[in-house]
Amino acid sequence: MALKRRTKISAAFSMSSMTDIVFLLLIFFMITSTMVHPNAIKLLIPKKVTKKVEVQKYLNVRVTSSGRYYVDGKRVGAESIESGLLKAFNSNEQTIVKLRTDKNASTGDVAAVLDIAESNGIKVILDIR
């Protein structure tokens, strides 16, 4: 006696309920996002004011790869670099030293100039070429 099933199992999947849920979630998030107020900082932007721009002059100091020092284009010996640097710095009333070094310059020579500037309270900009 061969019994047959009267109901067949369907392998199809209905997406209609899934799309309903996604649609309802989309509506929910759209409504709640309009109710949220972002925490923003109020900035007080200043009005247009003209200022004079101060141009700072630089005292050029150069250290070569052979260990030579130049202060404003004048050669200074290694033993008198501090006095030469201070004399040029005080006579011109310049506020910043622009230290230019060659690519192969010794770090000890560069550090000597930086130590002199630091001990005398001079600001230094380092320019390596």
Q: Which two tokens stand for residue 79?
A: 């033993």
Is residue 126 within 8 Å of 99, Cβ to Cβ? yes
The CATH class that applies to domain 58-128 reads alpha beta
Q: What is the dihedral of CA 78, 82, 87, 90, to 10 degrees?
A: 150
* Every domain of the chain and the residues it spans: 58-128
Please report, as a single letter, which amino acid is at residue 44. Answer: L
Tens-digit pLDDT profile for residues 58-96:
788 898 888 889 988 888 888 888 888 777 777 555 568
Please report, as a single letter, which amino acid is at residue 56. Answer: Q
Tens-digit pLDDT profile for residues 4-30:
767 777 777 778 889 999 999 999 988
Q: What is the pTM of this model?
A: 0.52
